[in-house]
Amino acid sequence: MARMTSRGPVLGIAALYFLVPVAASLWFTIDSPDGIGFDVYSKGLGSEGLTTSLLRSVSIGLATVALGLLLMVPTTVAVALRLPKLRRIVEILCMMPLVVPPIALVAGVATVLSWQQDLATTPLYGTFQALIDRDFPLILVIVYTVMSLPFLYRSLDAGLRSVDLRTLVEAARSLGASRTQTLLQVVAPNLRQAVMGGAVLSLAMVLGEYSVASVLGFEPFAVWMVNVGDSEAQLSVAAAMLSLLLTWGLLLLLTALAGGRTRKTQSRRKTTS
């Protein structure tokens, strides 16, 4: 009972901390000289650039998650199974983006991208063009993948530590499973929650990232919001509210996917007990 009473104020303060800015933003978007109305939302959805930038952000986010997982799942599994001595080194490398400011990272990337003029007569020029394609800038996917490494590594490492991976892999191998079958049927399903956790954090980071995209001159959703905010403050905040809903929706979807099996198991347990 005492625990409940001490929890209440803490939860209340935390709720206020998160909800007051959201409520204030919402009020700002619906309050107009003519009274309360949702005109800015109906107008905003049709405004130029919103849908394009939003879709661009989502596609960059999903590509970042895919590339990050493709890179990190085999790496962390290989380190856990075969090269445990390299764990510290991999951990330090993956944590680097947390200590290197994004602005320093983007300065380096901008320097590399500036080489394209010197490479205009070589086949590499095409590669540079693909990297800086305005509709789908691959360079952002690459930079965001690097920036998401700490989230992916921490999540996957925690997942790998929660299962006796070596024994599971050896059990699968002794039963006749090939390496691919072991990875897909035994390792991956048992890392699902860790994978989803890392994916959720990475996606949230990409959807809200501004500085790298802005410095490199691309316009994903966060940059579009700031740009439009200079001329239409209400529309900018309304877009921020929409992006908040979208992010929550995506996070809920991923969390539901990750927890699907757990819930199924729990319900089955209730049935059998």
List residues near other proteins by CB under 8 A.
Answer: 163-164, 167-168, 170-178, 181, 185-186, 189-190, 192, 261, 265, 268-269, 272
- For other proteins, the closer of residues 168 and 244 by Cβ is 168
Residue type, position 260, single letter: G
- For other proteins, the closer of residues 190 and 227 by Cβ is 190
Neighbour tally for 227: CB within 10 Å: 15
202: which 2 tokens? Answer: 């990475």
Q: At its nearest, how many Å lie between other proteins and the CB of residue 193?
A: 11
Backbone angles phi, psi at 76, to 5 degrees: -65, -35
- For other proteins, the closer of residues 69 and 186 by Cβ is 186
199: which 2 tokens? Answer: 């994916």
Q: At its nearest, how many Å lie between other proteins and the CB of residue 190?
A: 5
Q: For residues 195 and 157, give the distance between their C-alpha atoms in angstroms, rounded to a whole number.
A: 10
Q: At its nearest, how many Å lie between other proteins and the CB of residue 69?
A: 18
Q: At its nearest, how many Å lie between other proteins and the CB of residue 156?
A: 16
Q: For residues 74 and 67, give the distance between their C-alpha atoms in angstroms, rounded to a whole number.
A: 12
**Cα–Cα separations (whole angstroms), residue 41 to 27, 30, 224:** 12, 9, 16
SS3 31: strand
- For other proteins, the closer of residues 142 and 177 by Cβ is 177
- For other proteins, the closer of residues 57 and 193 by Cβ is 193
SS3 50: helix
Q: At its nearest, how many Å lie between other proteins and the CB of residue 58?
A: 29
